[in-house]
Amino acid sequence: MLVLGDSLSAEYGLSQGTGWVTLLASRLKSQSLNATVINASISGDTSSGGKTRLWSLIEKYHPSIVIIELGGNDGLRGLSLAATESNFRSMISIAQKNKAKVLLIGMRLPPNYGHTYTEKFAGLYARLAQETGSALAPFLLEGIADNLQLFQPDRIHPIAAAHPRMLDNVWPHLRSLLK
């Protein structure tokens, strides 16, 4: 299982081993599910960076599941939604051509980016999942985003106490791929 993500998956600002990806590996082990989790997340990564790195990661690890937790930095930078969508389509295609199941992890943006951009950004994940047959965890920060106490001082990165909830937001959608 390969996690291709940004700072939300790379344990930015956290003690090592407290992020949701590490918690995922522990949960898999505790449930006797034989899966190795490779965390290939990089703080600051965009969909373009993920697309660039994915092929070599697949060649190296041969994952049966690719979890894509990217796009937040694209949105925060106001990058073209068409370019972000194209990058996601490429990543999904690369994974599926290599016989990996794909789980997209959705993200939302703060309202100050404008209603039209934020709505189109949020809808991108569901549309791509439906069109490509990928699984979708609709919003990584569900139940967290509105509680500033669950964020580091930058108000972007959740504290360690929020990461179990992040895993719970991903787990049911990932669990269905483990069958």
How far apart, in whole angstroms, are the C-alpha atoms of residue 41 and residue 10?
Answer: 5
Q: What is the pLDDT of residues 40-53, one digit of tens each?
A: 999 999 999 999 99
Which one from 6, 7, 9, 41 is the annotated catalytic residue?
Answer: 7
30 is catalytic: no
What is the SS3 assignment for 137?
Answer: strand
Ramachandran category for residue 131: left, alpha or beta (phi over 0 → left; psi -120 to 50 → alpha): alpha
Residue 179 has pLDDT above 80, yes or no: no
Q: What band does 33 get if pLDDT is binned at 50, 70 and 90? A: very high
Looking at domain 2-178, which of 2.70.50.60, 3.40.50.1110, 3.40.50.920, 3.20.20.70 is its CATH number?
Answer: 3.40.50.1110
Of the candidates 32, 115, 146, 154, the residue annotated as catalytic is: 154
Strands in the chain per DSSP E? 2-5, 38-39, 65-69, 101-105, 135-137
* pLDDT computed for residue 14 by the predictor: 98
- DSSP character for 151? B
Q: Is residue 154 annotated as a catalytic residue, yes or no?
A: yes
The pLDDT score that the predictor gives to residue 147 is 97
Q: Which of 48, 93, 157, 168 is catalytic?
A: 157
What pLDDT was estimated at residue 105? 98
**Is the pTM for the entire model greater than 0.75?**
yes
Q: Are 177 and 65 in contact (CB under 8 A)?
A: yes
pLDDT digits (tens, 9 = 90+) for 95-147: 999 999 999 999 999 888 899 999 999 999 999 999 999 999 999 999 999 99
Known catalytic membership, residue 157? yes
Share of the chain above pLDDT 70, in %: 100
Give me the residue spans of the domains in the chain. 2-178
